[in-house]
Structure 1
């Protein structure tokens, strides 16, 4: 395979992961109330974003086939384990297809925060994700404060920590 063909394929894969493909997403507007989101978690529980007032919530979309997603999941998990006692919530929403659910469940089982699949959403004001990974930051008042396409520890410290109660 020529280096040009390889570079083109690599670019296409990266664009899919970071969200340059797929424009059917609902408009989620920063500094406005978060849209509705109700889903069934893999553990059978119900996640309802409207019931999370008073907590800072990260809504993160991922997939097992997305290399950047797999890179950021341990960062999110570590951050959640450190700050959940201060009111941090995370819901991980997988875009994996049914044939990949076993792999997705194995990855989900290693996480401290709950996960779900796109097909388990019953009320989705966010619409389909623009790409993967994608994380929305919702403050304690239920307002969208930021949107990340690449979660890094420093970004979490700079943006999310100030939203948590002391």
Structure 2
């Protein structure tokens, strides 16, 4: 009986996770404007690239720090084909730490400070980092990845979307 209960609990938990992910997938990007640490204004809902990744991260997140060099390499490899990456630091991340991290690590893509948490709330109240929102050329959210990205899968997805 205990095995059946555990199995049922796992199935229910999986369904709950899928339900919450489905609230985001196939939706348009929220109508929100952001300003990068360099002062560039971006309307996220008007970003028209072949593929966009919005990455929510924090300077105290080990997974974020680990994936950042791979994000930079992916950006450098595919930006000429229409890839855009926008990194959004969480509201609890001190701005000076974000600035220091991006300068020290030579982050090549736009970085935004979510000082009041409004951006994270606009994307179904993101709280876990890293979380990446994958957006197609039509501005439709095609996936939400909680945790570190699998760069083998991401590169295959990018090749598919950037060559179509």
Answer whether TM exceeds 0.5 for this pair.
yes
Gaps of 5+ in 1: 1-24
Alignment-derived partner of residue 72 in structure 1: 67
Alignment-derived partner of residue 91 in structure 1: 86
Q: TM-score, normalised by structure 2?
A: 0.75
The residue correspondences of 1:10-49 to structure 2 (distance < 5 A) are 28-49=23-44
Q: TM-score, normalised by structure 1?
A: 0.74
- Greater gyration radius: 2
Greater length-normalized contact order (CA 8 Å, ≥ 6 residues apart): 1
The residue correspondences of 1:1-166 to structure 2 (distance < 5 A) are 28-95=23-90, 97=92, 100-109=94-103, 110-119=106-115, 125-149=122-146, 150-165=148-163
Root mean square deviation, CA, Å:
2.4
Alignment-derived partner of residue 12 in structure 2: none
Distance 1:156 1:41, change over 3 A: same
How many matched pairs? 141
> In the aligned structure 1, how far is the partner of 2:130 from the partner of 2:49?
25
Q: List structure 1 segments (4+ residues) > 6 angstroms apart after TM superposition.
A: 120-124
* Partner SS, residue 119 of structure 1: coil
Distance 1:158 1:69, change over 3 A: same
* Partner SS, residue 115 of structure 2: helix
C-alpha contact 1:41 1:120 (8 A) present in aligned 2? no
